[in-house]
Chain A
Amino acid sequence: MSEQKFRTCTITGLKVHGPAESLIKANIITAVIFIAIGGIAALLVALTRWPAVHLLPAHWFYRILTAHGLDMLIVWIIFFEIGALYLGGAVLLNARLAAPRVGWLAYILMLGGAVLTNIMVLSGTSDVLFTSYPPLMAHPLYYLGIILFAVGALIGVLLFFATLYKARKEGVYTHASFPLVTFGFIAAGMIAIYTLVHGAGIFIPTLLWSMGLMNMNPSAYRLVFWALGHSTQQINVAAMISVWYLLGTLTVGMKPINEKLCRTAFVLYILIISVASEHHLLVDPVFSNAHKIWNTGYIVHLAVLGSMIHALAVPAGIEVALRKKGYTNGLFEWLKKAPWGNPGFSAMAFSIFIFGFLAGISGVVFGSEAVNITAHNTWRITGHFHATVVGGTTLAFMGVTYYILPIVFNRQIIAKNWASLQPWLFGIGLILLSGGMMSAGVYGVPRRHWDIVSFGGSPFAFTWDPTVYMWMTVMGIGALTAVAGGVLYVWITLGTAWKGKPVA
């Protein structure tokens, strides 16, 4: 291990390993390019669903929606997470990345898979939406692309664990416990491993099926697919909460109030969440009511308990830190005087608020066994997960980017004022988008639907309660606002990485 490969960060005093730095940069920049592609798709899709605009023709709507789901939910988020894992494993521990070559292999597999899948979608051979429920069939190369991406991601996660192991073994990190943020990333990584194994468990048979080599049971597919599809969301939650702790420390100097409780909450996620995926099957045939209740009741509520712990620990930690700075007047001086102009802080605050109030509560409600009858496949669900994975995870990741740029890229943020505005635009847009979707969904407005006005000319077309159109408009305005925030994010991140002044 040669010392020259390390650079000392002037802001945090952390030692940054050169090869780790290059890999983090590559993964983060690729993530940002894919959020840009997914964002263009988001704009097109939102403008089509907004009845006043109804932009795309039907087949392009479903095609672009397939691309939006894949590029956002899978490609953007997982590329960013792999970058964040290398950060939590190497940089936070002042350690070296165990095997950079393996990291590049993972990167190439993921990128190749993502590009292949996108080509298959845009060429019109795979209009299946990201769930690809059989017997709906895509081109075999579509499934192959996803498999390559998942294998790459799995290798990346294993490299993270190898890095921790080396840091220990080489005596770089000697404390008995890892820092809380790294611990949270470990939880995310462990969930990622069993999730990605489920991914192989479903996409390899599906690939064979699409080549005519085996049969596929649609109900069984749904079960295993969601063991992948939902558990990935738990990687996102664990990673997002780790990022909250990270941003809390970097922005206001927050300390966890009780490490024991925070860490226990992460352990609950690891243990419980894989079974939670069955809440996608609440109105499926096959399973008994007792099974559905057991699964979404006892079991899921234990994971919710984990979230409830963080829901107090994070804001309370922030409050304590700000009060220590002297903002002690009244109940809320600390909140008023918080660094709202710091995009890292405002992104974290919006993320906590949107995730806690819009996403968490709606998730627990829609995921209960009886209520799901009125929520399944309506826009209530789409509204719910834009609050979780966009308002929560994506916004938190945006916030931490403003720290990754100086720490890892060694660059000063360009356009600081626009950066301060960015989380506000994205956050407020998201609240409108997701609120509009959930409210329209209450009336039964379906998700993934090209034309709720005339149903493509169906003779059975009917008219909705007029309130629906108001909520669709709220959704549209929210979408435009959020897209504006997204454009700022992509511009500032790529611009800083390319042309920002060096930090020191």
Chain B
Amino acid sequence: MSIYAPDKVWWKPIDREEKIWFVLAIIWMLVSFFFMPLWHVIGKQNQSDESYRVTTDQYAELAGKFRDKYVVKDEKGEEVTINGVAVVHPPPGGDAYIVARMWSWQPILELEKGKTYRVHISSVDLQHGFSLYPLNINFMAIPGQDYVITMTPTSSGEFSILCNEYCGLGHHTMVGKMIVKD
């Protein structure tokens, strides 16, 4: 029994039931394993493989230049903002930068449906969690790493970005927006 000394010789052959179970488990695990690389071929949503080391200052500078260049302006030439956050329209096929900081996501990206973008995500202070609602897509925003996610919006509308990594006492107020136009 399990709490007493085992038989003198316990290295005994495995019986049929356990063998069948064992083989089934191995087969199931092989399937589940091979699906991971396979999903990169047949799946529509996958991990990004691209990230770079940056300092938080470098990242803030890159993102600032991007914002100033592509910020949306109205007829009077004034910057368009929603709740005080600038709306930026990156060039299709180009780079777009999102900055996470306590406690906002900036700017608001305005993307076009069906076009592909290289969206950069990083933080300039603590660790944050990029979580896109209602799609439920989640990536980490870590200071010191520029995470480049290639994405092609397939539906239009307004999306929310919430923070799902604890980032201090205002963590729950950290909500942002992303817009996809037809």
Chain A residues in the interface with B (C-beta under 8 A): 12, 58-59, 62, 92, 127, 129, 131, 133, 135-136, 173, 175-181, 217-219, 222, 245-246, 248-250, 253-261, 263, 282-286, 288-289, 292-293, 296-298, 301, 304-305, 308-309, 312-313, 316, 364, 368-370, 373-378, 442-444, 446-452, 455-462, 465
CA distance A278 to B135 in the complex (A): 25
Task: State whether B177 touches A444 (Cβ < 8 A).
Answer: no
Task: State whether A308 touches B17 (Cβ < 8 A).
Answer: no
User: A residues within 8 A CB of B140?
Assistant: 283-285, 376
**Is B66 positioned at the interface, with any CB of A under 8 Å from its CB?**
no
Task: State whether A259 touches B6 (Cβ < 8 A).
Answer: yes
Residue of B32, B160, B170 near A368 (CB, 8 A) is B32
CA distance A127 to B166 in the complex (A): 10
Closest residue of chain B to A447 (Cβ to Cβ) is B164
Task: State whether A286 touches B51 (Cβ < 8 A).
Answer: yes
Contacts A254-B2, A297-B36, A370-B45 given; does A460 touch B176 at CB 8 Å: yes
**Is B167 positioned at the interface, with any CB of A under 8 Å from its CB?**
yes
Task: State whether B29 touches A368 (Cβ < 8 A).
Answer: no
Task: State whether A460 touches B175 (Cβ < 8 A).
Answer: yes
Which of B71-79, B88-96, B123-131 sits within the interface? B123-131
User: B residues within 8 A CB of A316?
Assistant: 17-18
Residue of A133, A177, A248 near B165 (CB, 8 A) is A133
Extra contacts, 12 of them, besides A127-B168, A258-B15, A313-B18 (Cβ < 8 A), are: A217-B144, A218-B144, A257-B15, A259-B6, A285-B145, A289-B47, A301-B32, A301-B33, A305-B29, A316-B18, A448-B165, A458-B173
User: B residues within 8 A CB of A250?
Assistant: 3
**Is B22 positioned at the interface, with any CB of A under 8 Å from its CB?**
yes
Shortest beta-carbon distance, B156 to chain A, in Å? 17
Chain B residues in the interface with A (C-beta under 8 A): 1-8, 10-12, 14-15, 17-18, 21-22, 25-26, 29, 32-33, 35-37, 39-40, 43, 45-47, 49, 51, 83, 125-127, 129, 131, 133-140, 142-147, 160, 162-177
Task: State whether A368 touches B36 (Cβ < 8 A).
Answer: yes
Closest residue of chain A to B144 (Cβ to Cβ) is A218
Contacts A62-B166, A258-B12, A283-B139 given; does A369 touch B175 at CB 8 Å: no
Task: State whether A246 touches B173 (Cβ < 8 A).
Answer: no
Task: State whether A304 touches B18 (Cβ < 8 A).
Answer: no
CA distance A173 to B146 in the complex (A): 58
Task: State whether A181 touches B172 (Cβ < 8 A).
Answer: no
Residue of B2, B14, B37 near A258 (CB, 8 A) is B14
**Between-chain CB contacts (< 8 Å), 9 pairs:** A219-B145, A256-B2, A259-B12, A301-B33, A313-B18, A375-B138, A376-B139, A457-B173, A462-B160
The 9 closest A-B pairs by CB, nearest first: A285-B51, A446-B164, A444-B136, A259-B10, A245-B2, A460-B175, A308-B25, A459-B83, A285-B147
Closest residue of chain A to B162 (Cβ to Cβ) is A446
CA distance A373 to B166 in the complex (A): 18
User: A residues within 8 A CB of B14?
Assistant: 258, 260-261
Contacts A301-B29, A370-B43 given; does A449 touch B172 at CB 8 Å: yes
CA distance A375 to B49 in the complex (A): 19
CA distance A490 to B2 in the complex (A): 28
Task: State whether B35 touches A368 (Cβ < 8 A).
Answer: yes
CA distance A257 to B171 in the complex (A): 51
Task: State whether A179 touches B164 (Cβ < 8 A).
Answer: no
Task: State whether A370 touches B5 (Cβ < 8 A).
Answer: no
User: B residues within 8 A CB of A289?
Assistant: 40, 46-47, 49
Shortest beta-carbon distance, A209 to chain B, in Å? 14
Contacts A257-B18, A373-B47, A456-B170 given; does A135 touch B2 at CB 8 Å: no
Closest residue of chain B to A285 (Cβ to Cβ) is B51
Task: State whether B6 touches A462 (Cβ < 8 A).
Answer: no
Task: State whether A465 touches B134 (Cβ < 8 A).
Answer: yes
User: B residues within 8 A CB of A375?
Assistant: 138
Contacts A260-B10, A450-B171 given; does A374 touch B3 at CB 8 Å: no
Shortest beta-carbon distance, A87 to chain B, in Å? 10
Interface centre among A177, A283, A377, A460 (most CB of B within 10 A): A460
Shortest beta-carbon distance, A379 to chain B, in Å? 9
Shortest beta-carbon distance, A36 to chain B, in Å? 25
CA distance A456 to B125 in the complex (A): 21
Task: State whether B3 touches A370 (Cβ < 8 A).
Answer: no
Residue of A131, A136, A257, A456 near B168 (CB, 8 A) is A136
Residue of B12, B51, B133, B166 near A260 (CB, 8 A) is B12
Residue of A131, A177, A309, A446 near B131 (CB, 8 A) is A446
User: A residues within 8 A CB of B3?
Assistant: 12, 92, 179-181, 245-246, 249-250
Contacts A127-B169, A289-B40 given; does A258 touch B131 at CB 8 Å: no
User: A residues within 8 A CB of B83?
Assistant: 459-460
Task: State whether A462 touches B22 (Cβ < 8 A).
Answer: no
Interface centre among B32, B146, B163, B164 (most CB of A within 10 A): B164
CA distance A312 to B35 in the complex (A): 25
Task: State whether A133 touches B127 (Cβ < 8 A).
Answer: yes
